[in-house]
Amino acid sequence: MTLYHVAQNIEASALGQTIRESTWLFPAIESTHLLALALLGGAILITSLSILGWGLKTPVAELYKSAHRYLNAAVIVLLITGVLLGVSEPVKLYGREAFWVKMISLGLALLVTYFVFNPLVRRGAAASGLRFVTVLTISAWLLVAMAGRWIGFS
Amino acid sequence: MLEGLVTKLADTPWSIALHESLYMYAITESTHVMSIMLFVGTIAMVDFRLLGISYNKVPVSQMLSKILPWTIAGFALLVITGSMLFLAIPIRTYHSIWFRLKCLMILIAAINIAVFTFKVERDKAAWDLGPVPRKSKICAVISLSAWACVIVFGRLIAYNWFDCDSITSPTMAELTGCPLDPG
C-alpha cells in the first residue's frame, strides 16, 4: 500500500468524514490551531529575546520555568488540532508541496526546540552557540507557520 | 459614506493588483499570521504575569518596558499586512460580520489598554514584585479574551456563511450593511 492509498483510507475514515461534512468543525479546529500558534510564539520569544539581549534581564533559566509550560501546552494543542485538520483532507495535502515543506520544517523545529534549545535554556547555559540555536529555533517555527498558511494557497 | 469609500477603494489599481497577485496576497497573509505569533504571543506572556500566574520573579515594570515594545512592533506589522488584506478584498470584507466583530473586539482591547495605562498601572511600584491586585487581573483577562476573539473572528472572515448573497434576516442585513433581497 502506497502513501497515497493511506491518504485515501484516512480521507474515507469516519473522523475525516465528520470533520469534512460539518460546517463549524473545520473552522473551529483551525481557529484553535491558530490560537495555540500565538501561544507558542510568545513562549519561544520570551526566552529568545532575553538570550539575544533584547528582552528581560531575568536569568533565562528562571523564565524557562514559566515559558516551558506554555510551550508544551501550545505544542500539544497544535499537534492534536493539526492531526484533525490533516485527517479531514489528507488526499489534498498529499499533493501539496507546502504541506511537505511544513512537515519537514515541523520535524526540524521540534528537534531543535526539545533536544537543543530547551536543554540549553534550562541549564541557563551561556554557550556561545546559544544565540545561533535561538535564531535557528525562531526561524524554524516561522517557516512552519508560513508553510502552514501556504497550504491553503498552493 | 463608508460604503462609497470602500467601493472606490476596490476600484483602485492597488486593490486590483493585490487581489490578482497570488504571491503577494499569500505572502501578506502569511506575514499576518507570523506577526500574530509576535503580537498575541508577547501580550499573552505579559497578561499571564499580570494575572500573577507566571514569571512572578520578573518585576511587572520590567515586563512592560522590555516586552511591550515587541508587542507594539507586532501590532504595527499586523496593521500594515491587515490593511493590505482589506485593500485586496474591500467590499466583501467591509460587509463581513466577522470583520465587524473583529473591529469591535480590537476596540474593546484598545479601551482596556487605555484603562490599564492611565489607571491600573499607575501605582505598579507598590506591586512590582508582590501579589498583583485584582484590577490588574481583570485587565489581563479582558486582554486575553479580546485578542483570542480577534484571532478567531479574523480567521472566520474567510468563510462565506454570512456573505451578502446568503443573508435573509433583516437583523443580519442591518448588522452587515447588506441590502436585503426583496425576492
Nearest-Cα distance to chain A for B9, in Å, is 24
Kindly state the greatest CA–CA separation across chain A. 55
CA separation for the pair B7, A96 (Å, rounded): 35
Task: Please state the rounded mean pLDDT for residues A130-139.
Answer: 96
Q: pTM value?
A: 0.96
On average, the pLDDT of chain B sits at: 95
Domain spans, chain B: 2-176
What confidence tier does B182 reach under pLDDT thresholds 50, 70, 90? low
pLDDT recorded at residue B106? 98
Q: Does A64 touch chain B (CB under 8 A)?
A: no
CA separation for the pair A6, A16 (Å, rounded): 13
The model's pLDDT over B130-158, given as tens digits with 9 standing for 90+, comes to 999 999 999 999 999 999 999 999 999 99
Task: Please state the rounded mean pLDDT for residues A75-88.
Answer: 98
CB distance A63–B36 less than 8 Å? no
Q: Give B-chain residues touching A39 at CB under 8 angstroms.
A: 41, 44
Domain spans, chain A: 3-151
What confidence tier does B27 reach under pLDDT thresholds 50, 70, 90? very high
Q: How far is CA A53 from CA A46, A117, A128, B52, in A?
A: 11, 16, 13, 25
pLDDT at B96 over 80: yes
CA separation for the pair A87, A147 (Å, rounded): 18
Cell of A14: 469516519
